[in-house]
Amino acid sequence: MARPLHDPGFVIDGFRLDEMVHKGGMAMLWRVSKDGLDEPMLMKVPRIGEGTDPAAIVSFEMEQMILPKLNGPHIPKYIAAGDFAHQPYLVMEAIAGTSLLQRLPDLPLPYDEVARLGVTIAEALDDLHRQHVVHLDIKPSNIMFRPDGSAVLIDFGLSHHDQLPDLMQEEFRLPFGTAPYMSPEQLRGIRNDPRSDLFALGVLLYFFSTGERPFGESETLRGMRRRLWRDPKPPRSLRPDYPPWLQEIVLRCLEVEPGRRHPTAAQLAFDLSHPDEVKLTARSEKLTRDPWTTAMRRRFNTDLTAPRKSPVATQIASAPIVAVAVDVGEQGAPINAALFEVTARILATLPQARLACLNVLKTSAIALDSTLDDQGHNKKIDRLVRLKSWAAPLKLDERRLTAHVLESTDAAAAILEFAAVNRVDHILIGARQDSFRRRVLGSVSAKVATEAPCSVTVVRAPRAG
């Protein structure tokens, strides 16, 4: 079972923990070594224990899925990973360079240096986007530079891969990101638009060239939502010598509507590389924010606030989403066997179907629940491992299978919400044999079958004898 790692000298799968270099709220970073591997390496280990944020676990799963799919000079090289059944970790190349975070004491930077930084970061984003990934957490601490000056993007826990399941979107309702850098569409729950990264880069360019963040330091969701309609102060109102070409670029990156930003990171990099070629508009001369009439028009324009489907995320009608609710406890074994048989038959007829395995961790409505069981294991991770073990014999491609441990006081309500939010086409759920208590109080399967927004198959275990 997964456990936290704390001591130098500990060896896991041949990797020796040499030195802890960072201890954050979600994970620890260790310098590691292994016989036969001479390159500098880092091991990322999620923090698991009492009070662990479920989003941190899912975020680590996302990074484990995405990083092995990436390559090139702008990405840390993937080396190895460990699963939650034993010890979760992620080993990657240790970048022999500096972090952009180290430049914060020097702000504001000279304009030409800001432009050069912008070019290198935009080039890294262009490479990432061409590999079907939107980063969604661009900020100084997630940008490093190799000795040759090329930018390296790190930390893909909040990222969206167009060809992999998006667990963050499937399991959580709140937007995730770093507040000062989040785009308006991220706040609306849209995670598949590469121009969100261009917005974050615009925030960074504004900050590094003026010394102030365009939207302040507000961390509240209400404060962040103002950027759905309110533009920032133009940089020239803060620094009179601000170049018009740079203001044109920065304010274009910070447009509320993604369609008004640069269409690609490559075009943004081109503008930053060729300031004399930048086409100046009214943006370049602005000294004040847009008038309130414009802000109010944005605020009440449903075309701007309604989520939009991107072609890259449009689901194919012939590939339904099937959700199966699995009881991972010992009493659920007979039903789980029957559920497995039905699930296997359905998937055999739908080779492009996605399968979402669900389990609900019941929580108390009035008491504070412990995240650990009597043996000190994380309850959510234990159930996640059991779900994946149940589905393993199906031998599905990783793009077709996800596992979700939902937390709720009402199991049926949690399953119904998951089905509605994630556009599930069909639910498979087990039901125990009738009992007086179930007839009086009702059952989870009955409520799901009655209220589900999609078709439902209720599976019962065969009667003994």
Give the per-residue pLDDT at 314.
35
Pair type for strands 98-99 and 143-145? antiparallel
How far is Cα 400 from Cα 411, in angstroms, rounded to an integer? 24
Give the per-residue pLDDT at 440.
40
Length, in residues, of the chain: 465
DSSP per-residue codes, 43-88: EEEE--STT--HHHHHHHHHHHHHGGG--STTSPPEEEEE-TTT--
Do 330 and 318 touch, CB atoms closer than 8 A? no
Give the per-residue pLDDT at 431.
83
Residues of the chain by 3-state class (helix, strand, coil), percent to 5 = 40, 20, 40
Of the candidates 175, 177, 97, the residue with the CA atom closest to the CA atom of residue 143: 97
pTM: 0.80
Computed over its alpha carbons, how large is the radius of gyration of the chain? 25
Give the per-residue pLDDT at 369.
67
Residue with tokens 């993604």: 258
How far is Cα 251 from Cα 290, in angstroms, rounded to an integer? 12
Do 216 and 164 touch, CB atoms closer than 8 A? no
Q: Where are the domains of the chain?
A: 11-93, 98-308, 315-460
How far is Cα 278 from Cα 422, in angstroms, rounded to an integer? 42
Q: What is the CATH number of domain 11-93?
A: 3.30.200.20
Hey, is 21 helix, strand or coil? strand
Domain 315-460 is in which class? alpha beta
What is the residue-level pLDDT of the chain in tens, covering all 465 positions? 445 556 889 999 999 999 999 887 778 999 999 999 999 999 999 987 766 778 888 999 999 999 999 999 999 999 999 988 888 999 999 999 999 999 999 999 999 999 999 999 999 999 999 899 999 999 999 999 999 999 999 999 999 998 898 888 888 767 888 999 999 999 988 899 999 999 999 999 999 999 999 998 766 777 788 888 889 999 999 999 999 999 999 999 999 999 899 888 988 998 999 998 898 999 999 999 888 788 777 777 655 544 455 533 333 234 688 899 998 876 667 788 889 999 999 988 888 787 889 999 888 766 566 777 777 778 888 888 999 999 999 998 876 888 889 988 899 999 999 888 777 888 999 887 664 444 444 588 889 998 998 889 998 877 655
Give the per-residue pLDDT at 368.
65
Give the per-residue pLDDT at 174.
72
CA dihedral sign, ordered 291, 295, 301, 304: positive
- Please give the distance of CA 204 from its chain centroid, rounded to a whole number: 20
Rounded to a whole number, what is the distance in angstroms from the first to the last CA of the chain? 37
Of the candidates 189, 171, 168, 181, the residue with the CA atom closest to the CA atom of residue 219: 181
Secondary structure (H, E, C), 25-49: CCEEEEEEEECCEEEEEEEEEECCC
Q: Which CATH superfamily is domain 98-308 in?
A: Transferase(Phosphotransferase) domain 1 (1.10.510.10)
Per DSSP, helices labelled H in 139-228 are 167-171, 184-187, 195-210, 221-224
Give the per-residue pLDDT at 461.
73
Domains 98-308 and 315-460 fall in the same CATH topology: no
